[in-house]
């Protein structure tokens, strides 16, 4: 998702919010479009472990080969993200139009990829700079408005 799209999403969060029981139309066509022009494929620790399993590597090798690790500007937490490749900023795990991890074992895909086009946001009454340890927050889900796939399945 590009920066302009991200800002639009943040400013109009209510428009994109989806409830846990809401129905939406989307059917993946395995075109790989969701894996291009991405700089926001974040991994959790389970994702790193799953990738290491699928690729027959150690966790450290996965991070050194495919990822960037940094401290989140607002969260101050370690962030692990897949480093995009080339001018079209494609996921380093994309082979042709298919996810190389999905081909090995679909259950080992990163969480954010398996959930696409649903995303998660952390909502709080406090501005990020005012949040303290233990501040109340809520995880909310959004429909990213995918520009790929079809609307033939709900």
Residue 125 domain-assigned?
A: yes
Residue 131 domain-assigned?
A: yes
Residue 149 domain-assigned?
A: no
Report helix, strand and coil shares of the chain as percent, to nearest 5. 35, 20, 45
Boundaries of domain holding 103: 3-143
Number of other CB atoms surrounding residue 132 within 10 Å: 6
Residue 148 domain-assigned?
A: no
Residue 32 domain-assigned?
A: yes
pTM, entire model: 0.77
For the chain, what is the domain count? Answer: 1
- Selected residue with higher pLDDT from 106 and 132: 106
Count of positions (residues) in the chain: 154
Alpha-carbon torsion (46, 50, 55, 58), positive or negative: positive
Q: Which of 6-10, 24-28, 78-82 is least confident?
A: 6-10
pLDDT of residue 4: 63
Residue 88 domain-assigned?
A: yes
Residue 154 domain-assigned?
A: no
Cα–Cα dist 79/72, whole Å: 6
């Amino acid at each position: 998702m590009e920066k302009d799209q991200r800002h639009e999403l943040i400013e109009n969060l209510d428009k994109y919010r989806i409830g846990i029981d809401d129905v939406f139309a989307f059917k993946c066509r395995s075109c790989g479009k969701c894996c291009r022009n991405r700089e926001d494929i974040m991994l959790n620790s389970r994702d790193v472990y799953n990738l290491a399993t699928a690729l027959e590597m150690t966790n450290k090798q996965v991070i050194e080969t495919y990822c960037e690790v940094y401290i989140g500007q607002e969260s101050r937490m370690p962030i692990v993200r897949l480093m995009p490749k080339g001018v079209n900023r494609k996921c380093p795990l994309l082979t042709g139009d298919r996810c190389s991890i999905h081909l090995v074992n679909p259950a080992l895909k990163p969480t954010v990829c398996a959930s696409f086009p649903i995303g998660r946001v952390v909502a709080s009454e406090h501005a990020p700079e005012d949040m303290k340890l233990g501040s109340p927050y809520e995880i909310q889900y959004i429909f990213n408005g995918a520009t790929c796939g079809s609307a033939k399945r709900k």
